[in-house]
């Protein structure tokens, strides 16, 4: 488990102090994938770099599996850092070394016995699906392949934690997906805790189980990804969520609606469409779909529909309360006024 306790990071610039991280406390469970989301300048990188003491927190404590990293120095800190792998947006491979040598470099730095290095590099290349690229140079690889090498290097010394700093931001959508799947496989098969920072909600939706949203150095919302997607509280969180789950309907269409507009949220395995058709059959109301989608978050469906209900007001009210009893979250957006 990673415990971030009241951590702040203040930078001294030429003319002022900048608070990169402002009194953040978080607990990141062992074996999970935790996403930290925020716009540029929110403090994500500063916080991530505090986790392996690339940045020393100005205040607060970082504990990993009960060990207080902020108290360690010299050799002890170097040893603790070996258990924290890190990958970056721009890969940072050594261009003059082959794929093999880039990975072996991390093993030599950790004083791995010579005879074990070859086996370990072979195993790591297999894991990231790059066995045939063993002897090529980074310049001959695609972005996705470079990130796979960086992942193999980060895993070389069997870390318990992998930190990912915008690891897919330089990649196209298809390559992003393949890297996210690889991270998920590593998380499952090696039971490594992954902490990733990103400004892209679809990355979080794809692989994270918990998330935090940062703004101005602070964590403004935190929880299970599914709960945050289905019930975002902070305005900024709603803004981020809207890039994946959207209720945007053009004003021109809304202006033409004469009925009651309702937003319906179906969580988990509630069979949304059958609840809607039963409601329409049972009550004297008509329904028009204005918008609808089902997103899968951590393989759990989250259905969102925007509907216009037409009929007599008491019938509409009964229809809405019926849907609520069937575990549909109903919000009236506009009641035809």
Q: How far is the CB of 304 from ligand ATP (least distance, A)?
A: 28
Task: Tell me how crowded residue 138 is: count the other CB atoms within 10 A of its CB.
Answer: 20
Give the residue among 151, 186, 189, 155 at the shortest CA–CA distance from 168.
Answer: 151
Nearer to ligand ATP, 125 or 236 (CB): 236
Q: How far is the CB of 163 from ligand ATP (least distance, A)?
A: 12
Q: Between the CA of residue 103 and those of 97, 150, 152, 153, what are the distances in Å?
A: 9, 8, 7, 5
Task: List beta partners, residue 266.
Answer: 303, 328
Nearer to ligand ATP, 11 or 289 (CB): 11
CB environment 148-170: b (16+ within 10 A), e (fewer)? bbbbbbbbbbebbbbbbbbbbeb
Nearer to ligand ATP, 42 or 154 (CB): 42
d(CA 180, CA 176): 6
Residues in contact with 337: Cβ distance below 8 Å, sequence separation at least 6, in sequence order? none
Report how many residues bind ligand ATP under the rule CB under 6 A. 12
Nearer to ligand ATP, 99 or 214 (CB): 214
Q: How far is the CB of 141 from ligand ATP (least distance, A)?
A: 25
Q: How far is the CB of 239 from ligand ATP (least distance, A)?
A: 15
d(CA 126, CA 155): 12
Nearer to ligand ATP, 54 or 254 (CB): 54
Give the residue among 48, 32, 59, 115 at the shortest CA–CA distance from 84.
Answer: 48
Q: How far is the CB of 300 from ligand ATP (least distance, A)?
A: 28
Binders in 13-72 for ligand ATP, by CB under 6 A: 13, 18, 20, 38, 40-46
**What are 221's two structure tokens?**
């919302």
Nearer to ligand ATP, 46 or 157 (CB): 46
Nearer to ligand ATP, 16 or 73 (CB): 16
Contact characters 281-300, ligand ATP, x per CB under 6 A? --------------------
Binders in 195-254 for ligand ATP, by CB under 6 A: none
Q: How far is the CB of 52 from ligand ATP (least distance, A)?
A: 14
Residues in contact with 295: Cβ distance below 8 Å, sequence separation at least 6, in sequence order? 205, 229, 244, 245, 301, 302, 304
Residue 11 within binding range of ligand ATP, rule CB under 6 A: yes
Helix (H, G, I), strand (E, B) or coil at 293: strand
Q: Which residues bind ligand ATP (CB under 6 A)?
A: 11, 13, 18, 20, 38, 40-46
């Amino acid at each position: 488990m990673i415990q971030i306790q009241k951590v702040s990071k203040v930078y001294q610039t030429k003319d002022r102090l900048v608070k990169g991280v402002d009194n953040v406390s978080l607990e990141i469970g062992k074996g999970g994938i935790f996403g930290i989301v925020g716009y540029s300048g929110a403090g994500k990188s500063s916080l991530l770099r505090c986790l392996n003491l690339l940045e020393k927190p100005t205040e607060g404590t970082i504990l990993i599996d009960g060990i207080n990293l902020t108290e360690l120095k010299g050799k002890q800190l170097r040893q603790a850092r070996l258990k924290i792998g890190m990958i970056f947006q721009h890969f940072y491979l050594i261009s003059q070394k082959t794929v093999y040598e880039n990975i072996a470099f991390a093993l030599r730095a950790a004083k791995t016995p010579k005879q074990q290095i070859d086996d370990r590099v072979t195993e790591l290349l297999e894991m990231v699906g790059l066995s045939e690229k063993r002897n090529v140079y980074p310049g001959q690889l695609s972005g996705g392949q470079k990130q796979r090498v960086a992942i193999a290097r980060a895993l070389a010394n069997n870390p318990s934690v992998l930190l990912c700093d915008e690891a897919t931001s330089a990649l196209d959508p298809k390559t992003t997906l393949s890297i996210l799947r690889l991270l998920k496989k590593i998380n499952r098969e090696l039971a490594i805790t992954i902490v990733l920072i990103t400004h892209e909600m679809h990355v979080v939706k794809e692989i994270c189980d918990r998330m935090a949203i940062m703004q101005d150095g602070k964590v403004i919302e935190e929880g299970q990804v599914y709960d945050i997607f289905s019930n975002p509280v902070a305005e900024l969180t709603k803004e981020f969520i809207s890039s994946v789950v959207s209720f945007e309907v053009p004003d021109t269409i809304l202006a033409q609606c004469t009925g009651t507009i309702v937003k319906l949220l179906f969580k988990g395995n509630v069979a949304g469409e059958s609840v809607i058709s039963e409601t329409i059959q049972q009550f004297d109301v008509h329904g028009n779909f204005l918008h609808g989608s089902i997103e899968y978050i951590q393989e759990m469906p989250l259905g969102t529909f925007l509907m216009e209900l037409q009929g007599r007001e008491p019938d509409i009210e009964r229809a809405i309360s019926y849907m609520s009893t069937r575990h549909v979250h109903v919000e009236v957006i506009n009641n035809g006024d």
